[in-house]
Chain A
């Protein structure tokens, strides 16, 4: 019955217009970045790039040292000398925010790299192997998924008196890989039985070639999505831990600025220049990362994009997408 509907000329062109990325079997490095070629991803990447540049050139950009105490200018609202005002010790908030970017970016990316490498190795191996080895890797993944992350991080971070950023990144990475591994395992299991992988195996290609050249290009979008997701999670966890005070307050990141602001009562005395900028920076990075992920989502699942576009196009012609009768008539007139 449904095939009868399909063979009519009306809906067929609309379904074929949707690109099918999974069918591009021999994708190589060039097209591996196709998922970023849309407006949402590019906007996100530009915002993220801005913060990376700020982190790299913090020493040049910051007008003052983040810890330079000035007792004559305490709790100053924004002015020409201090664009974002000063703290309770007369430190320049703008300089603190700029220097704080470094910790956030470094920990976020380092944790995400660690987590993604573990997720890819465990996920792909668990997906490719069969039997008890696959099952036990999957069980390991599930254990890490189930064990609550933030409480564990708080407990582990308190093992160290003065944890360096690398240790924090490692802890965040080691507790944050499980979700990516689970998604990758499922996708690898589905890829394993596709014709092109079977063909490569029949050709006698070595395992590393099958995984590296045949499977990984098809997993790139998922790997990128899980990387971006882990960066977001790591940045939120880092700032939260810094705010709670688990991470020592002498390493500057946006969370420690908020810790000081909160401890000195900035929130109760309306010193908005002190507590608004760091929070907005975290939100900006979060938005940038979720824009990148929206772009990847729409690349992986084109319906997410085409549904809105199609509905808007129909609306332009004065039609309602949910009005079934009219919809069929007009698509026939227009597309056939």
Chain B
């Protein structure tokens, strides 16, 4: 399917085929077909994700309440039944009825209560963990993207020089498993050198507050996790940008710019890098989505109190409500990031508005 808009011969009194037409078109025309296509896709994906989310715990063996009982022995059978009813686990309802109830609760923003965290609402538990993940991993992702893209542009520009050797090095760093890199960093910098604390987001006995001491603690604890994320993800950004640069530098407009005698710096950043960065920006928007869910391993290695650790703990304890909630938040953030990527791309590259199906 192509979403090419049938172009009327004359539009707003501007002749066809001139640059004026495209300028007018770019401002006044909304590519409805493209937009509705994307919206339908996102709604469908959202429905699929929520449905998978509904069925996952029902496929799992073992029961949250059984697990809870084995941790807390002094719960009477009546209390256990009450718990089951509270968690929506009583099986006297049909699957369809449960599914409808699930949607009704979801639309009201009610994700249930977490057994693992003393029956507190799941939304509250998640919203406590979310800032840690988003702050740390978001910062690391931005830094990695900036260094990798600028570095990749320079490496691509100085093709054939000694800088080419950087690519295998960063690729090597991104092929080693992240958890191993993290453990090595802890062994080296925390245990042997003692420069950084081992894991956690802030020191024992601190309460989160806006004081200089606490913020210093957070930075001190976050340096190692952030640095390892940057090291592990730098290679992808660099390789992608460098490969795009090599392709773009072969284009005629770069040659024309050089033939005109433009300064190299201007050709590099305004002509070549500006076009080569398009796919990078799209992957950056996508990687925003993986900020929330992609760092389970980091949070485990550094015992960082974020969303990924929440999911792991919830899965191990069969705390379904929390597990579903986290999975939903992760999926939602990926979806939002995809929408961002689409919007960014449609703004930056007009061709996608017309041909993307």
**A residues apposed to B, CB below 8 Å:** 1-2, 5-6, 11, 130-131, 134-135, 138-139, 142-143, 146-148, 150-152, 154-156, 158-159, 161, 232, 236, 239-240, 243-244, 255, 258, 262, 267-268, 270, 275, 278-279, 282-283, 286-287, 289-290, 297, 301, 303-304, 307-312, 314-315, 321-325, 328
Contacts and interface: CB of A to CB of B under 8 A. Distances in A.
Contact of A159 (B61, B243, B268, B296): B61
Contact of B255 (A5, A151, A236): A5
B45 A143 contact: yes
Given A146-B45, A147-B52, A282-B176, A308 B330 contact: no
A268 B189 CA distance: 11
Given A2-B252, A244-B312, A315 B161 contact: yes
B66 to A, nearest CB: 14
Chain B facing A: main interface SS: helix
Given A155-B323, A267-B183, A146 B247 contact: no
A143 B44 contact: yes
Contacts of B157: 322
A290 B331 contact: no
A283 B45 CA distance: 35
Nearest to B254: A324
B243 A321 contact: no
Contacts of B177: 236, 239-240, 243, 255, 279, 282-283
A248 B331 CA distance: 27
A7 B1 CA distance: 38
Contact of B293 (A142, A151, A289, A324): A151
Contacts of B191: 267-268, 270
A146 B179 contact: no
Contacts of B159: 307-308, 311, 321
A146 B285 CA distance: 13
B59 to A, nearest CB: 6
Given A150-B294, A267-B187, A283-B172, A324 B255 contact: yes
Given A154-B315, A283-B172, A307-B246, A324 B259 contact: yes
Contacts of A239: 177
Q: Is the interface of A mostly helix, strand, loop or mixed?
A: helix
Interface string B148-161: 00000000011111
Contacts, number: 172
B132 interface: no
B176 A304 contact: no
A236 B232 CA distance: 13
11 contacts: A147-B52, A158-B315, A159-B59, A243-B297, A244-B296, A282-B180, A286-B175, A311-B159, A314-B160, A323-B264, A324-B258
A30 B180 CA distance: 41
B187 A268 contact: yes
Contacts of A146: 45, 49, 331, 334-335, 338
Given A135-B357, A143-B45, A267-B191, A283 B311 contact: no
A244 B301 CA distance: 9
Identify which of B171, B179, B250 gathers the most chain A CB atoms within 10 Å of its CB.
B179
B330 A151 contact: yes
